[in-house]
Amino acid sequence: MNHKRPLITPGYLLTFAMVTALFFLWALPNTMNDVLITHFMKSLELSRLKAGLIQSAFKLGYFAFALPAGLFMQRFGYKYGLVTGLILFALGCFLFWPAALAGKYIFFLGALFVIASGLAFLELGANSLIVSMGDPDMSERRLNLAQAFNPIGAMTGVAIGTVFIFSGNEQTQAQVDIMKAAGTYKAYLAEETMRVGPPYITLGIVVLVFAFLISRAKFPEQETRGAGHEKGSFKALRQYPHWYKAIVAQFFYLGAQLGTWSFFIQYVKENAGLSNKMAGGFLVGTLAAFMAGRFSSTLFMKYIKPTKLMGLYAMANICLVSTGILFPGWIGVWAIFFTSFFMSVMYPTIFASGVKGLGPNAKLGASFLVMSLIGGAVLTPFMGLIADRYLAIAPAMVIPLFSYFVILYYSFFGSRPSGPLYDARKMED
């Protein structure tokens, strides 16, 4: 057993703590998107399909910059990669102000793309660095522990959006008609749109401060210089089936996670009759369940193989999402609510198991795993399309349902490590 082996390599604790703080920081804009979707449906008068493009623009930024980020860090190391990511993150936040002044949806999508390009650097660098900071056999536990701080940031992001973006000024159709007749409706929508500016400007300032702190921190010397002699290759990566199966599993996981959270407020409003602010409170609650799942799974992994635990959780979510589809109402609301607890283990476990045994190919392999986050961009609009077609969110939950079947397969079959470097290490052991 691994009880006497340290979870984190001695001497890396401070670096681990600082990098773990990034997991909190990048969660803020991710879940503020869930508030933006509902807010822009009102202030910019968008359909569910168009509102779903918020996640598409966001994940497109991940997709476009994941590979360049991997190559950049392969050349310059993790430290410079993380600082670059934070600067791009802050720039995207500052772009929200001119976008709000213009009141153009396309400008907001551009700002979100820039934010996501920075987060591609952060996710790749932070996840890869945490995985490498200790015993490879404990990488899933280590990454689950660091990722446990991500939902704290996620809850904070939803809380910020609910309090500072949602105005609580929700008009009935009769009131809207009166405002249109009086010629004041456009001004009302413009005022609602401007509410997104201050929270994002403040976040940008905080991110710049953190970029300065990271730039002054002492990272392991080999990482600040970059490990030029450890360059991976695409050809070598193809020899690791568990790696490319992890890409597929991560694609569908992000589709399930983002799709569920993006339309959760709408699901609660439709099936429980609550206001935006009350439904936003439920979103904070489901993120708390997500956090509880992350911390508890770190403990459970001492006794249960991580991929097996993930498989059991996938089975639980198949049951819960089926309930949410078949029994919309309060039963469905609580069923979808608790899927967050069981999805919590999936991202870090898929990531860590996917890069296991890749050796010098790990950074390049991790880049493709980050690119697989495009699943959120692809599948979330499909959920919006289904919801628009059936005039309800519940039928759209078929997308997360299918995704959990894919993760179930990966958990029990596709995640088994294989490949030349992994097999050689096993022979040495």
Instruction: Label residue 395 exposed, middle or buried (CB < 10 Å: 0-12, 13-18, 19+).
Output: middle
Q: Cβ contacts of residue 86 below 8 Å, gap of 6+?
A: 118, 121, 122, 207, 208, 210, 211, 214
Distance (Å, whole) CA 371 – CA 89: 17
Q: Please, what are the averages of pLDDT over each run of 10 residues along the chain (429 residues)?
A: 65 83 91 83 82 80 89 87 96 95 92 95 89 79 86 85 82 83 88 91 95 82 50 74 91 92 88 80 87 88 91 97 93 95 93 83 83 82 87 92 96 80 51
CB atoms near residue 137 (< 10 Å): 11
The predicted structure's pLDDT at residue 221 = 54
Residue 309 to residues 127, 204, 243, 306, Cα–Cα distance (Å): 20, 37, 19, 5
Residue 272 to residues 69, 159, 259, Cα–Cα distance (Å): 43, 20, 19
Residue 66 to residues 98, 116, 306, 368, 369, Cα–Cα distance (Å): 27, 10, 26, 7, 9
Tell me the CATH class for 13-428: mainly alpha
The predicted structure's pLDDT at residue 419 = 62
Nearest to 33 by CA among 158, 151, 177: 158
Nearest to 30 by CA among 41, 20, 22, 19: 22
The predicted structure's pLDDT at residue 226 = 47
Residue whose tokens read 């703080």: 21
- Domain-wise residue ranges, the chain: 13-428
The predicted structure's pLDDT at residue 261 = 87
Tokens of 191: 């005022």
Instruction: Label residue 360 exposed, middle or buried (CB < 10 Å: 0-12, 13-18, 19+).
Output: middle
The predicted structure's pLDDT at residue 228 = 45
The predicted structure's pLDDT at residue 219 = 76
Helix and strand numbers (H, E) in the chain are: 23, 0
- This prediction has a pTM of 0.77
**Amino acid of residue 29:** P
Distance (Å, whole) CA 375 – CA 48: 18
Distance (Å, whole) CA 426 – CA 423: 5
Nearest to 362 by CA among 246, 251, 257: 246
